Amino acid sequence: MPVVRHDWSLSEVRALYDLPLLELVYKAQTVHREVFQDNKVQLCSLLSVKTGGCPEDCAYCPQAARYQTGVKAERLMPVDEVIENATKAKEAGATRFCMGAAWREVKDGPQFDQVLDMVRGVKALGLEACCTLGMLSEDQAKRLKEAGLSAYNHNLDTSPEFYGKIITTRVYEDRLATLRAVRQAGITVCSGGIIGMGESIDDRCRMLITLASQEVHPESVPINALVQVEGTPLAGHVKKVEAMEMVRLIAVARILMPHAMVRLSAGRLQMTEEAQLLCMMAGANSIFFGDKLLTTGNPQYEADMALLEKAGVERLRPGEQA
Ligand code: SAM
Ligand code: DTB
Ligand code: SF4
């Protein structure tokens, strides 16, 4: 088994990132196969249960109320509608169901109770249940755990150094505190980030180093390429992410966090099929499927299934470990 380290230095990680691409992919694939012998890919489904109207100022996000992006603010979705979506996702092959809310933080009260009901319902279907609801207190994390939540997604998004350039309405330490609350409650941690926001390669490396420096590595690390949405401050002002950059970062994430599920998340719509397969070679073992992410597009379901079929990529089945 690969050694699990928590003390990666920037120079070490940068040296990995800068390796000749095929060398890097080979290294990552070697680590990957030691841990995930079956080499299967997990299909995850994503649902926005509370869309838009968010008070935060995340410069990438179409759901921030302050940007004119055409995303309409909606109310929290009724529980039965969520369960209906989860049932369909399960039938389509999902083994994990992630519910996202455009909130700065969770507030106790009827809305949180409603989310707890969603979690119970999704778990009852035999799916892994994941939520991403913003900041969380220790007590709220405990209640989510009691409801059966499998994982909580809370992205660091970028390096501590670059964070202030993207978000000013909260600080990096707030994110880390939520991750600690999640860990303490016994919920698995899903945390990753976005590339293509104008950050440097070193920033990308420092983000992964921060994730890997936690006492227990996140069980799940989503890597997103920025989806540029008109009306957000970043749209039109940053260079488009090249597929090779995704491949490199995924490979480095795989090497730093050998046991994590590394998720090729937002940005697949802009990638060729070959590039997506290269990401899987580099250690990505999960994708979000379905025609929509939270508010932006994702490849068509049929196209994804055809790709997996063509390439002979095996999917994780319900109850199966990766
Ligand atoms: N409001 C909660 C929060 O910020 O933690 C949960 C929902 S938020 C939409 C979840 C994550 O989606 C963000 O942390 C960010 O990493 C990702 N995201 C949002 N907009 C994106 C975009 N335009 N491109 C890529 N990823 C994006
Ligand atoms: C993550 O890292 N990526 C997903 C999930 N976690 C919640 C969200 C991607 C959102 C992309 C922009 C949108 O569709 O609104
Ligand atoms: Fe709100 Fe989350 Fe979007 Fe930031 S990323 S604006 S917190 S929904």
Instruction: Tell me the pLDDT tens digit for each residue of 130-147.
Output: 999 999 999 999 999 999
Q: Taking 90 as the threshold, does the pLDDT of residue 322 lie above it?
A: no
Alpha-carbon span 168 to 179, nearest angstrom: 19
Q: Taking 90 as the threshold, does the pLDDT of residue 129 lie above it?
A: yes
Give me the count of residues in the chain.
322
Q: Taking 90 as the threshold, does the pLDDT of residue 38 lie above it?
A: no
Beta strands in 20-66 (DSSP E): 42-50
Q: Which two tokens stand for residue 192?
A: 């990753």
Range list of H helices, 47-109: 79-91
Q: What is the pTM of this model?
A: 0.98
Catalytic annotation, residues: 54, 58, 61, 98, 130, 190, 263
CB of 62 sitting under 6 A from ligand 3: no
Please name which ligand lies nearest the alpha carbon of 154.
1
CA-closest residue to ligand 2 atom 1: 222
Whole-number percent of the chain with pLDDT over 90: 97
Q: How far is the CA of 270 from the centre of ligand 2 (A)?
A: 15
pLDDT score, position 320: 86
Fill in the DSSP letter of residue 269.
G
Strand partners, 305: none
Pocket of ligand 1 (CB under 6 A): 60-63, 100, 102-103, 132, 134, 154-155, 157, 194, 224, 226-227, 229, 266, 294
pLDDT score, position 59: 98
* Contact predicate 149/131, CB 8 Å: yes
Ligand 1 atom closest to residue 229's alpha carbon, by position in its atom list:
23
Q: How far is the CA of 52 from the centre of ligand 3 (A)?
A: 8
10 Å CB burial of residue 53 (0-12, 13-18, 19+) is: middle
